[in-house]
Chain A
């Protein structure tokens, strides 16, 4: 008995010593990995996830588990279960934060579906006062923007996340200037589609910032390839002309391509 206890102490001490010696070897890569992976931190989503995350962490089937959780999320979405939908959407982005798709759609559900469900549950658009509707929209937009902010920490070069942020500012919060700022960020990302630049100008124009819109289009136009229909260089030039006419730009100061 004494011998077995002694052996147990020696084994524990040996393992503890090995841990002390070996842990510093991987301290740096482990710290970096934990910063990248929310599933490796004890965040509320992980703590509440239980078996799903455990399976994902143990088995390595992160994509499969995330997909299964996404289907579960849709089952709750169909029932308009706000708490369940949000919990599963957050779980999916925690288990597998790599696909932008999950972040984007989680933000869209929060920003567009949730306000509609909440207002309908409170009596419908005709019964709920406009101020309350605005407050609901604002709160849900803030929740969606928080999701997009978290997504950007993981995907700093994603154009789609900035475009979605701009759309939420524009369509849910009614803030065209914040939308314009987000479109500018989207345009600054690598491989940004050309329409982002045109959208920014249009948003500025609708917000009454015509001079700013004109300056933006003048800045962007030289970068648009003439032979690419997607770039819409001709359309942009036409808009420049329209804005110049609206603003009464003197003939000597009009934009001249290639100069």
Chain B
């Protein structure tokens, strides 16, 4: 795109269009519906709860729904939105105009990031509402147990939602990185789930290699581990107690970590996409 400088406006337009297209997808409705049903229906699962306090159990179900359905949604939507542009030839038409490939790809990433932000905000809000209502009921039943007022830290719930979103953005960036060179959508989706597993469990693999004492294994584990983010770090909001709220510095570090990985994977996706023949 000689002559036309990089434009955030065009990037924003691609993002807007991506978001608009994403919200029309039936797959999105399915995942959102399932996640909402699980958050709302978590109260029905209370009979299966033995150990955790009820409110913690509800929060676990909510964040679990966000992780599971959010990850599936992110991977599927990213791959689908990218490949539909290639298969329908709309990418070809678009890139024939003064639009950078970087604008196109980062616009896609931003669009998916907005989509996941809406998803996380919706579920976090719903989870907070479910917790608020149930906590109110429990307070009425047992005023002695809530002498100090409400026990749930809603700031912690919001933090949990924001960390979930960071994870999904990183996952979207990695899926887009794979999609930038993949030939088929299925390959990108499968690799996306592979990345999800690696990012969650890589620390265990590294520890296993270290314990096995294999120098090759340790080197391989360290090499692979260094190339993927650790998603377990972004699950710090594991409590509903205000006392466990991480400091502002920790929160800033976690945000920088998540966004840093998303930017790195996004830029590498641009680099890869620039060499792709469409």
Binding site for B on A (CB under 8 A): 3-4, 7, 10-12, 14-23, 25-26, 28-30, 33-34, 37, 40-42, 46-47, 54, 57-64, 66-68, 70-71, 92, 96, 98-102
Contacts and interface: CB of A to CB of B under 8 A. Distances in A.
Given A29-B250, A30-B230, A71-B48, 7 more contacts: A14-B268, A16-B226, A16-B227, A58-B201, A64-B64, A98-B238, A102-B51
Q: Give 5 closest A-B pairs by Cβ, nearest first.
A: A99-B51, A18-B264, A61-B64, A19-B226, A63-B60
27 contacts: A4-B181, A7-B272, A7-B275, A12-B227, A15-B268, A18-B260, A19-B227, A19-B228, A22-B256, A22-B261, A25-B256, A25-B257, A26-B233, A29-B233, A29-B246, A46-B204, A58-B196, A59-B64, A60-B60, A61-B64, A61-B68, A63-B51, A63-B52, A63-B57, A67-B51, A70-B51, A98-B52
B254 A29 contact: yes
B48 A26 contact: no
Nearest to A71: B48
Contacts, number: 147
Contacts of B68: 58-61
A64 B227 contact: no
A21 B66 CA distance: 28
A64 B253 contact: no
Contacts of A41: 207
Contacts of B228: 15, 19
Contacts of B223: 16
Contacts of B177: 11
A100 B181 CA distance: 49
A86 to B, nearest CB: 17
B49 A60 contact: no
Interface string B194-233: 0011001101100110010000000000010111111011
A181 B231 CA distance: 43
Contact of B60 (A18, A29, A34, A61): A61
B144 to A, nearest CB: 12
Nearest to B196: A58
B185 interface: no
B63 interface: yes
A96 B261 contact: no
Nearest to A19: B226
A64 B67 CA distance: 14
Scoring B211, B227, B250 by chain A CB atoms within 10 A of each residue's CB, the highest score goes to B227
Contacts of A99: 50-53
Nearest to A101: B51
B61 interface: yes
Contacts of A17: 264
